[in-house]
Structure 1
Amino acid sequence: MARLDRVKNITGLVEWYGKNARLRELVNLVVVAGDRRKESKDLEEKAEMKKMYGLIETYKLNGQFRWISSQMNRVRNGELYRMICDIKGAFVQPAIYEAFVLTVIEAMTCGLPKYATCNGGPAEIIVHGKSSYHIDPYNGDHAAELLVDFFEKTKANPSHWDKISQGGLKRIHEKYTWQIYSKRLLTLTNVYGFWKHMNDLDQRERKCYLEILYALKFRKLAESMPLAVEE
């Protein structure tokens, strides 16, 4: 469920699915992206749509694959999550890179087990193997095998699906409720109000503090971020 941009890697997910015979035996695939009802004026989206149609033909996906145009109605989007959850499916977010990833939070709130890119926000949101799973968008074969393993375990023991679903709901209640968000926002507001009334000496001390914080906490995280790969 995303825009039909190359970075979202929706066609990558379709290809992973098409190539893995066992995954196709276990589950069907639904994607919600782009608008099939009209021709796009965006060159990147046009290329992705062309690729999508080519993958459907190459892997003979008719009957196992449903491509739904992007939905602007949030209530309908919620129903799509719930429908997949009710039949004990999973949500896959295969992007090359993502920031916060609202769709992962939405899917988790609905109780859906999730497979999301390890590059960016999902690395923090998801606890691998407990609340959901990380996948490497550059290693689609491995991502498909992780899905196969999950659905085979779920087929043999339905409580495995419930365990991951409950783990995701627990993660939401611990980290991503509106109550938690509002408390953090109020805290940041109070901190801003404090810094705003500092004198020049205090401002220099704040700058030193922030530089130390960056060097100790964030520099290694920034250096570990993958660079864009030219195709």
Structure 2
Amino acid sequence: YIGSLADRSKPIIFSMARLDRVKNITGLVESYAKNSKLRELVNLVVVAGYIDVKKSSDREEIAEIEKMHDLMKQYNLNGEFRWLTAQTNRARNGELYRYIADTKGAFVQPAFYEAFGLTVVEAMTCGLPTFATCHGGPAEIIEHGVSGFHIDPYHPDKASELLLEFFQKSKEDPNHWE
């Protein structure tokens, strides 16, 4: 992994996906990085791809790895952001979702398009508030404001404001997270 979480009492925004353009993990990191109020309230943890460009042979993934490193430096994310290498252990992944739920965190699936959205279903099954793309399958799975929240990856500022609003309300009223 790379990065650290200085204040472990903060809830965690969590995402897990392949590290390619369509999954938009770098878009999530950038929208989090640009929202100083959100950064004060929560940490960000992503599980995606390789951390070291030398381990990837895929040009698109290499570009995304480089972009992740650039974002970490540009926005000085150390202390608020942790990036873990992609996991294939399904039991460990399930435990990650449950751990994030224990922190009163949330799952974000920021893809530009998602055909189905298995991670969305996994997160919801573990009781995590889920924010997922409005483009594709997750729009059918989630009823906005009831079973989760739709976000538009083409409007990242609005998505980060929705997350901020959710976590502000959850801080004021712990029952809101439920």
TM-score (norm 1): 0.69
AA partner of residue 95 (structure 1): A
| Structure 1: unaligned runs, 5 residues or longer | 163-231
Picking from 94, 97, 101, the partner of 2:117 is: 101
1-structure distance, mates of 2:71, 2:36:
15
Which of 1 and 2 has higher RCO (CA within 8 Å, sep 6+)?
A: 2
- 1:15 alignment partner, SS class: helix
1-structure distance, mates of 2:91, 2:109:
20
| Counterpart for residue 229 of structure 1 | none
| Counterpart for residue 62 of structure 2 | 46
Matched-pair identity in %: 69
Q: Which runs of 4+ in 1 moved over 6 A?
A: none
1-structure distance, mates of 2:100, 2:124:
12
AA partner of residue 15 (structure 1): E
Q: Which string of whole-angstrom CA distances, capped at 9 and with x for unpartnered residues, describes residues 88-138 of structure 1?
A: 000000000001100000000000000000000011000000110000000
Picking from 76, 81, 87, the partner of 1:71 is: 87
Query: How many pairs does the alignment contain?
Result: 162
TM-score (norm 2): 0.90
Larger Rg: 1
| Counterpart for residue 18 of structure 2 | 3
| Counterpart for residue 48 of structure 2 | 33
AA partner of residue 85 (structure 2): S
Matched, 1:20 2:35: yes
> Superposition pairs for residues 1-231 of structure 1, below 5 Å?
1-36=16-51, 38-162=54-178
How much has 1:36 moved relative to structure 2? 2.0
2-structure distance, mates of 1:35, 1:4:
8
Please provide the CA RMSD for this pair. Answer: 0.7
2-structure distance, mates of 1:47, 1:132:
31
AA partner of residue 19 (structure 2): L
Q: Is the helix fraction higher in 1 or 2?
A: 1
| Counterpart for residue 10 of structure 2 | none
Whether contact under 8 Å (2:50, 2:65) holds in the other structure is no
1-structure distance, mates of 2:96, 2:79:
19
2-structure distance, mates of 1:142, 1:158:
23
2-structure distance, mates of 1:132, 1:36:
30
How much has 1:35 moved relative to structure 2? 1.8
